[in-house]
Amino acid sequence: MSAHTRGIRIAAGSVLAPLVLVAGCTAQPGTSAHSHPETSPAAVSSTTSPSPALTARATTDLRDPSQIVSANGLLRTRIVVERKKVRLAGREVWALTYNGLYMPPTLRLRPGDRMEIAFENKLDKQTNLHVHGMHVSPAGRSDNVFLNIEPGETFTYRYAFPKGLEPGTYWYHPHPHTLSATQTAGGMAGLIVVDGLDRYLPASLRGITERVIALKDFQLVGDRIKTTDLKMGAPTTRTVNGQLNPRIRIRPGETQLWRLANIGANIFYKVALPGTKFHVVAQDGYPVNKVYSADSLVIPAGARYDVLVQGPAARTAELETLPYNSGKAGNQFPRATLATVRSEGEPMRPAALPTSFAPVDDLGKETVAARKSIVFTENKAGTLFYINGKQFDHNRVDFRSRLGTVEEWTIKNDSDEVHSFHVHTNDFQVMSVDGKPRTNYGLQDTVDVPPRGRMVVRIRFRDYPGKTVLHCHILNHEDAGMMAVLQIEK
């Protein structure tokens, strides 16, 4: 089999890599034994409006996704991409799946590990794989989003992660241009965890209960997840780990580590647990230098927060997403219940939470080698999106940067809705927003630029030359042109 870049053919490996470890598969949504092509005559028209968002009482406990864990420095597995019927929100639903699951396995590794994935495409359209936020080569068989895996092909991805890879929460999803939103919204998204965050925690908090809170949403038409003609303001069902309003258990005073990750295609979450604060220890897979607390966290598509949560006095409360307005040209997202948190059992003495945490880069002290301007715009209809007045073209290099240097970029949002700035390969430090300096807690890879706003970031190009991209991580906008090519040169 083979994989294609734009005009380049790369031979793909034929080795079928086994799963190293898969735990708790019976806790995942079930699947039927057969697939169903997207082009089936039975498929409902793509223009059909979604049904109202589904709701449910909390009757089942939150389940972590199964895990595939590296062993002896290598994570080797197989991912099969397929349209299948899964058990989701109490019904049988057609979805786009990894390994037959709406909530696929979490890939778990350590800094310095290697990862090999035999990636088999059983869809009727091309696809590929992106490891979001990870500092790894963008070239060859690694995190190369210019590769296309055609229907019926199997391609072996190979990643060599540096020993300095930051511990935290990342994720994986498809990145074929014009199909990213379609495939991610259909269900193709899973988590990656890089271990090592606990080394910054005090001894009393090492080994605490850890929970994955993967925020995935879908729009339902009949018995299928809607994948085309997506409208961000349409009724959308929100799930946690693929479950509808699961129950999260915690003891009064207990400290848990929650990995909050928005692994959907487009919509925003403003996550809150009334009466309880989130104590942020990492953002976008980068440990913070100082732990900070928040009553709510706005999490755009693609962003992640690792937080410490302490159980309140015995009670039941709702983990919710609060109303959020993305601008007069954007959308107003309603409040919704994500999960029900039950604080119960023998109370624990609340642990003292850390204040200082991990060392972080401070690019504000570095010499700036070059400055660039990146302007987000869109047409009046909100159907075409641009960076510096141009739509994405994989054959054109829009920006060139030099390996080993630090640059300062000004990102201007010349529209009336929020855009989420994201860059591959290297993280960045937010210096200011609308002229107001930002506290440096650490680097990020996905950040919101407010309507008619201006953001200044600094970015260091290290380790990996190659061709990569920057874009708005609202995938509807990316697919409609809001992406640019960045060439990192030696």
- Per-residue pLDDT of 394-446, as tens digits, reads 999 999 999 999 999 999 999 999 999 999 999 999 999 999 999 999 999 99
Query: In angstroms, how far apart are the furthest CA atoms of the chain?
Result: 63
Whether 14 has a pLDDT exceeding 50, the answer reads no
Whether 317 has a pLDDT exceeding 80, the answer reads yes
Q: Measured between alpha carbons, how far is 488 from 403 in angstroms, rounded to an integer? A: 6
Whether 134 has a pLDDT exceeding 90, the answer reads yes
- pLDDT > 90 fraction of the chain, expressed in percent and rounded: 90
Average pLDDT taken over every residue of the chain: 92
- 77 touches 117 (CB < 8 A): yes
Residue 5: its pLDDT value, please?
52
Residue 476's H or E segment, with its range, is: helix 475-479
> CB-based contacts of 327: which residues, under 8 Å, 6+ apart?
415, 416, 417, 418, 450, 451
Per-residue pLDDT tens digits for 307-316: 999 999 999 9
Residue 4: pLDDT band with limits 50, 70, 90 = low
Residue 393: pLDDT band with limits 50, 70, 90 = very high
Per-residue pLDDT tens digits for 20-77: 333 333 333 333 333 333 333 333 344 588 999 999 999 999 999 999 999 999 999 9
Residue 3: its pLDDT value, please?
61
- 105 touches 190 (CB < 8 A): yes
- 346 touches 432 (CB < 8 A): no
Two structure tokens written together for 156: 């072996």
The letter for the amino acid at 474 is: I
Per-residue pLDDT tens digits for 446-469: 999 999 999 999 999 999 999 999
> CB-based contacts of 316: which residues, under 8 Å, 6+ apart?
340, 341, 342, 343
List, in order of start, the domains of the chain with CATH numbers.
2-195 (2.60.40.420), 203-343 (2.60.40.420), 363-489 (2.60.40.420)
- 57 touches 318 (CB < 8 A): no
Per-residue pLDDT tens digits for 141-182: 999 999 999 999 999 999 999 999 999 999 999 999 999 999
Whether 10 has a pLDDT exceeding 90, the answer reads no
Residue 325: its pLDDT value, please?
98
- Say if residue 436 is exposed, middle or buried (CB neighbours under 10 Å; 0-12, 13-18, 19+): exposed
Helix, coil or strand: residue 240:
strand
Q: Measured between alpha carbons, how far is 285 from 114 in angstroms, rounded to an integer? A: 18
pTM of the model: 0.91
